Amino acid sequence: MSTLLPPRPRLFHRSTWRETQRVTNALRTETVGGALLLAAAVAAIVWANTPWVDAYTGLRDLTVGPAALHLDLTLEQWASDGLLAVFFFVAGLELKHELVVGDLRDPAKAALPVAAAACGVVVPAVVFFAVARGLGGGSGDLLAGWAIPTATDIAFALAVLAVLGTHLPSALRSFLLTLAVVDDLIAITIIALFYTDSLNVTSLLLALVPIAVFGVLVQRRVCPWWLLLPIAALAWGLVHASGIHATVAGVVLGMLVPVRTGPRDRGGRSLASRIEHRVRPFSAGVAVPVFAFMAAGVTVVGGGLGAAFGDPAALGVVLALVVGKALGVLGGTWGFARFTRAELDDELAWTDVLGLSLLAGIGFTVSLLIGGLAYGPGSARDEHIKVAVLVGSLTAAVLAAVVLRLRNRVYRRIAVEEQRDDDGDGVPDCFEPEPQPAATGGRSGRAEDDGAAGPA
C-alpha cells in the first residue's frame, strides 16, 4: 500500500486578498513617487553638467537653520537628515505592519524574505570589499563604503516596472515589498551602529522623553497632527544632536504606531493605516524626490566619469549592486528552497526570481545616503560614489528589464486570473478559500487576519 507524501511547501504563494490590496495601494503610491524620483535625479544631473553648475552647487550647499541648536545645515543635509526621516518613518510603519499582521508575523512566511534580504546584504558587502581591497589595497577610508550597495530602492524599482508595463504577479510584488522593508531595517541598523562617529549620551537620553510621549499618545489614539508633529520634531532634533543619524528617529517613531484596530479607531482602520495614508504621499512625492535632486547632481562631463571609474570604491559599488545583489538575493532564495525542499508556486520560474534579484540591485536613495556618511558629503570620493550608484542602479534596472520582459506574457495571464471574479462578490476567485469537507467541523476557507485583536 503506497503512502501519500505530504505536499512540498510553496515559495511565492499568494497572500490573502486583504494583504494583496494593501500592498497594491502602497506600491501604487511608490510607483508615482519613483517617477518623480527619476525626474528629480535627471534634472539634477542635467543641471550639474551645464555651464550653470555653480548655481546648483550653491543651492545645494546653502546653509540654513539656527546655529545655536546645531541645526545650521546645508539644504543637502536637510534633505538627507530631515526629509529622509519621513521616508524612514513610513518604513517603520511598514516594518511594524509586517511584524504584527503581515508576512513577517509568521516565521514560516518570514523566513524566505529575511534569508533573501540577509544574503542580499552580505554578498554585495563582500563583493565591494573584495574589489576595493583588491584594486586599492584598503588604504585610508576606502573600505568605509562597504554598506553602500546593501539596500534596495523600492520606488526606483517600481518606476522601472511601470515604464516596462510589467504585470508582476501579486506574490512577487509582496515579496519585493517585504524584501525592501527588511532591507531598510538592516540599512538603518547599519547606519546607527557603523556610521556614528561620536555619541552625545545626554542628548540621546533626552530624546527618549519625546519618543516615549509620542508612543503613549499614539497608543491612546490621541493623535492630532498639531500635537504629534512638534513632539516628533523634538525627538528628531535630539537624536540628531546625539550624533546618531537623525533618520533613526523616524524608524523608531514609526514602529511605535499601533497597526491593529482598537476600539478607539474610527472607520475600522488602524491608526498606522490612517497615518500612512497621509504621510506616504509626502514621503514618496516630496521627501525622496527632493533628496534625489540634492544628492544626484554629479558632474560626468570633462573627465568626471573617468575619474569615478578610476576609484576602486566606485568600481566596487557598481559590481556589488549589479552582481553581488543579484547573487545574494537569488542565492539566498535558492538556498532556502533547497534547505526546506520547497518548490516555486505554479506558473513561476527561477527566471522570475533572477529578474527580482537584479531589480533589487537598484539601490539609489539609501545608497546615496550611506555614501555621504561613509566618505563625507561633497568629498571627491563621495562624488565618485554618486556616479557609481547611478551607473550600478541603471545597469541593474536594464538587466532586470531584459529578464522580466521575457516573462511578461506569463505575467499578463496571471494578472487576468487575479482579476477574475465570476461570482461577483468583489473578491477575485483565485483569492477565495477552497471549501473544506463538512465532516471536519472546522470553518471553511483561510481566515484573513484583519488586525482587529491585540494592543499592537
57 lies in some domain: yes
pLDDT digits (tens, 9 = 90+) for 415-428: 777 777 767 777 77
Residue 142: exposure state from Cβ atoms within 10 A (0-12, 13-18, ≥19):
buried
Name the stretches of the chain with pLDDT < 50. Answer: 1-2, 5, 435-453
434 lies in some domain: no
The residue range of the domain holding 306 is 10-65+107-192+288-417
At residue 431, the pLDDT reads 66
400 lies in some domain: yes
Q: Give the span between the Cα atoms of 151 and 365, in whole angstroms.
A: 9
At residue 393, the pLDDT reads 92
52 lies in some domain: yes
| The total number of residues written for the chain in this structure | 456
At residue 47, the pLDDT reads 94
At residue 208, the pLDDT reads 95
25 lies in some domain: yes
At residue 438, the pLDDT reads 42
202 lies in some domain: no
At residue 437, the pLDDT reads 44
CATH code of the domain in which 324 resides: 1.20.1530.10
Question: What's the domain count of the chain?
Answer: 1
153 lies in some domain: yes
pLDDT digits (tens, 9 = 90+) for 41-63: 999 999 999 999 999 999 999 99
At residue 166, the pLDDT reads 60
245 lies in some domain: no
pTM over 0.85: no
Nearest to 257 by CA among 240, 270, 238: 270
